[in-house]
Amino acid sequence: MNTALRVPWRLLSFGVAWILAQGIAESVLGPVFGLLSRGVGETVPMYPCTMLIGVAAACAVALRFVDDVPWSVMALGDGAWRMKRIGRGALLGTAAMLGTASLLWLVGALRIEGIPAGGLDGAAFMEDSWGGTALRLLWLLGPAALWEELVFRGYLYAVAEEAAGRWVARVSSSVAFGAVHLMNPGANVRTTVVVMLAGLCLCLVRERTGSLPAAWSAHLAWNWVMAAVLHVPVSGLPFATPGYRATLSGSDWISGGAWGPEGGLVAMLVLGGALAVGYRHRGALTET
């Protein structure tokens, strides 16, 4: 069968396997997380874990039984989990977000203010210490970033690249990445464009390092710095903010407003600049 004609079948198989595996994981782990939540006295989020299990199982089924290809097509081959590559990704994600925040601070659109203990109303969880909150955010954001990378820069990218080439893989996976984030609170055209730019940057990390885990660590670092260091919303979602928080002011077009600093023009400029540098210096991130 023509490769392009197989794409809908491959994606459908992946989606069905994902739904089934996640449903099984929720049934099995639901009681476990219920006991754990009662034991610690607060809700322990289950969905990051079950989403990751569902996606990982779907990738395994699709690659083994539908596509009959190795994990290396998703940049998960030998050396993909090498700490040097993962650390490089984390450094890039951290630098990009701190650069965005620094520019916002320089133009007067971001400032740090103290707040009472307890964080934001409607936060995902409560914690009275910075360290405790930071660890909980790793538990929440780490699996979420990994399943998103497995889906968008992993399986969807691999299918699109085989069917139509690398540029189609970059663009299609990034458009899908932006479309999924339209479900987040406060999403609009501007925020979706920034998310798509972030997707293209993560494609670049994947390609230059040959490592999907490097793209995951960059993704996680970007989100974790926002949530745990700056205490700002991540893609419109608020989290606990013990002791202080960064507040955004001025035009939402500049700062991102309630969506967070990744939703404004400054983030667009940082991500666009990263893409320009990355594609101009093609060997800059390559493992030697």
> Domain spans of the chain?
1-68, 78-280
Segment-wise mean pLDDT, segments of 10 residues, the chain, 288 residues: 73 96 96 89 88 98 94 95 96 97 96 68 51 88 97 97 95 97 94 97 96 98 96 91 89 94 96 91 54
Instruction: Find, among 205, 191, 206, 178, the residue nearest to 266 by Cα.
Output: 191
Instruction: Find, among 240, 218, 222, 221, the residue nearest to 231 by Cα.
Output: 240
Whole-number Cα distances in Å, 148 to 97, 115, 160, 222, 281: 19, 32, 16, 14, 27
Q: What's this model's pTM, rounded to 2 decimal places?
A: 0.91
